[in-house]
Amino acid sequence: MRDEGNLARAVGPMTALSAEDRMLAATLQHAVHELQATTGTAMVPLEDGRTLANVIVVGDPMSVFTVADRHPVDDDRYTGAVAYRTGRQCVRVRSETPSGVRPVMPFPYAIVATPLTDDEGRAFGVIVLVWADPVGWAAKSARVRHRCRSLTAELSRALLRRGGLPPGRHFPEVPRFILAPPSGEDAVLESVSLSLVHQIGRLAAELSQAPGLRDVVETAIARIMEPFGARCLAISVVDAGRPRLLGYAGSGPALAARLVRASTGTLEEEASTGAGPPPERPLFFEAVDTDEPIAAYCLLPLATDDHGAGTLALGFDHRRTFRAEERAALATVAQLLAQSIGRARQFETERRLAQELQQGLLPAALPQHGEVDIAARYVTPTTGTVGGDWYDVVNLPDGGIGLVVGDVEGHTPRAAALMGQIRSAVRAYATEGHRPADVLTRTNRLLVGLGTDLLATCCCVWLDPEAESVEVSSAGHPAPLLGHPGRRFTTPELPVGTPLGVRPDTCYGSGRAPLHEGTVLVLYTDGLVRSRSVPLDHGVEALHAHLAAPGDLRLEVLADRVLDITGAGDLRDDDAVLLIAQFLGLGADRRQRVARTSVERHDLRAVADVRGFLRTQARAWNWEAVSSDLELAVTELVTNGLVHADSEVEIRLREYADRLRVDVRDSDPRPPLPAPVLASGEPDSESEHGRGLLIVDALASSWGNSPSGRGKSVWFELTRP
């Protein structure tokens, strides 16, 4: 018979069973054997008081698939949660697991959950027994329930004599699996195989639901480090022939980078040899002499299609023996991780290509007007598919401003290509001087002539600042919302025509509304207010609620707030466009309220010219009191844009009565190369990444970043002293 200590060490972080765990395991073994149960588990509350954790599991190999690591205390779908919360035994017999409950058991089963209670009847744990495919349950139910109560009462008294279960005790992420001994044996032995299979199964399940690289790395950190007893973890991948640290935990970035390339068993030697290729086979180093807190480590190749794609490194703070079953488990873990990383990288590549294609069809940058402030948003689906939503802002020949949004059905490259054709047609007809209804009528004839079977909707809004009026025409598109100062947002009355491309002889009408100083117009596509989880009427109600909510009504802040209706947490099943414009009114000094300058790409010497422009503008607008803060913040942002965006950088100023707004824009919509994922989620203190934004945050009254045409904008505001 194998030694208990060796079994515990083979599973990694798990030490020998405590006295309390041995008592729980012995009771479960007795109950499973006597009552012929499939599985028995002991559950205890975690320190947060809201979660029950399985700490001991006894049963046959099937128990791996009938056990959840943890579940909420207040979820009545879980029998153990009901027994713990009520302090009374709970019995359920079902044909299969209810929807949403994990793990899934698609077969008949019976379950009896009996609480461990103190002298006052308060539960401090739960004993749960499961019978898969129970036969003759009705005849033996009463006896089983009675026996479960008596065994649990005896265990409760024994634990209470020892002081109960230790409060605040740390429980591992995975339960301890105990062998069910043959009849007549009382040994409590941990099952290495079941524990490893359970760990691999949970990792595989969670990796399958991780869409992006960050999700994959965070899952690996949570599901590999503690179950295998690692002090630190590092993951590297190969990009363009060079290794890149993708994520790490339990160490600093320098040690993590050394660990993933320590293929000779000596960290110090590897530090000076440079970056080599990933290992071709798993490497295990059981004893390492080093000044670092690493006494053993393993390197596991992350390979897809027989090509090296990276390395998973695990470091341990004690010398250890990697047993055969653990080596096999680690190799399997690396295979699962490699497949998930490959899938996530492919997904992110496809999504980036889709976004770049879509961004290329949007306006390069929004025009700047002293009379009108504009904010725009375009967001792609989470799946990375190409959408057909678009927007545009057009300078009209009569001095007015044209706002346009549209939506081509479908999420294919063909829909995006058609969207580009429609946008070009609308812009061409608008710049010729046609009114909104005529623009839609002509575009409809053009679309029908193209012979496409895709439908498109479009809404055109012409703002006339001199006449202080707005003209709106729609081709099957949601009407814009109009909010006059001090009033609720309403929909202007106008005829809504059929979508573009239906009939060649369709003529569209238009409606007019006054344009008072402070009026806000909101144009959008249906992806903003409708999704699989948000019905259209609920989304429209939410949009009105967001617009009517008190608080910060600056357009950029309002735009970010409205995007949450159907896309909270970047989860979105449709693309969406939002275009917001506010009429600031006409004043004698209106032409002095905006200013701009630009710097050619890579021209770092021109940053000095930008500082001169800012000093001149601050003096002309009587903002000299904040001139030094303005120069410092803009210099940091412009320098970052020139160094990282590889594009021209534009600086725009807009003066309000009480604040000065600055936008620094470039043509690259992509964020910088992502920093490695850390388990703590905190920024890397050894990196200077983001130093410019820290300066902006310290100087500005508010700041943020947002899309800007095909690129992005970092903006900030300074308050007048």
Instruction: List, as one string, the DSSP characters of 398-453.
Output: TS-EEEEEEEESSSSHHHHHHHHHHHHHHHHHHHTT--HHHHHHHHHHHHHHHT--
**pLDDT for the residue 275:** 53
CA atoms within 13 A on the CB side of 659: 12
User: pTM score, two decimals?
Assistant: 0.61
271-308 as b/e, with b when 16 or more CB fall inside 10 Å?
A: eeeeeeebbeebbbbeebeeebebbbbbbbbbbbeeeb
Residue labelled with tokens 């020949």 = 397
Backbone phi, then psi, for 495, in 5-degree steps?
-75, 125
Burial classification of residue 451, based on how many CB atoms lie within 10 Å of its CB (0-12 exposed, 13-18 middle, 19 or more buried): exposed
Dist CA 555 CA 12 (whole Å): 54
Tens digits of per-residue pLDDT, 2-57? 333 333 333 334 456 788 888 999 999 999 989 999 899 999 998 888 999 988 99
**pLDDT for the residue 553:** 67
CATH for 593-721 is: 3.30.565.10
- Please enumerate in sequence order all residues whose Cβ is within 8 A of that of 304, keeping only pairs 6 or more positions apart, or say none: 338, 339, 342
Backbone phi, then psi, for 463, in 5-degree steps?
-100, 130
Dist CA 306 CA 422 (whole Å): 46
Burial classification of residue 147, based on how many CB atoms lie within 10 Å of its CB (0-12 exposed, 13-18 middle, 19 or more buried): middle
Superfamily of domain 196-355: GAF domain (3.30.450.40)
Dist CA 638 CA 602 (whole Å): 11
Q: Which two tokens stand for residue 694?
A: 């820290």
**pLDDT for the residue 688:** 42
Query: How do the domains of the chain map onto residue ranges?
Result: 18-189, 196-355, 363-588, 593-721
**pLDDT for the residue 481:** 92
SS3 category, 680: coil
Which regions in the chain score pLDDT beneath 50? Answer: 1-14, 271-273, 569, 588, 590-592, 671-674, 680-689
Q: What is the torsional sign of CA 273, 275, 279, 283?
A: positive
How big is the chain, counted in residues?
721
Q: Which two tokens stand for residue 572?
A: 């979105």
Cβ neighbours, 10 Å, residue 130: 23
**pLDDT for the residue 443:** 94
3-state helix, strand, coil in the chain (%, to 5): 35, 25, 40
**pLDDT for the residue 92:** 94
* Prior bond of 103 cis (ω within 30°): yes
| Cβ atoms 519, 482 nearer than 8 A | yes
Dist CA 470 CA 703 (whole Å): 31
> Looking at beta carbons, which pairs linking 281-288 to residues 24 or more positions away fall under 8 Å?
282/327, 282/330, 282/331, 282/334, 284/322, 284/327, 286/319, 286/320, 286/321, 286/322, 287/319, 288/319
| Cβ atoms 157, 147 nearer than 8 A | no
- Tell me how many helices (H) and strands (E) the chain has: 17, 28
Q: Which two tokens stand for residue 67?
A: 């056990």
SS3 category, 227: coil
- Please enumerate in sequence order all residues whose Cβ is within 8 A of that of 688, keeping only pairs 6 or more positions apart, or say none: none
Domains 18-189 and 196-355 share a fold: yes
CATH for 363-588 is: 3.60.40.10
**pLDDT for the residue 170:** 66
Does the 18-189 domain belong in CATH 1.10.15.40?
no
Instruction: Calculate the CA 358 to chain-centre distance.
Output: 21
Instruction: Calculate the CA 216 to chain-centre distance.
Output: 11
Closest CA to 217 of 530, 679, 650: 679
Q: Which two tokens stand for residue 131?
A: 């019978």
Angle at 348 between CA 342 and CA 352, to 5 degrees: 145
**pLDDT for the residue 552:** 61
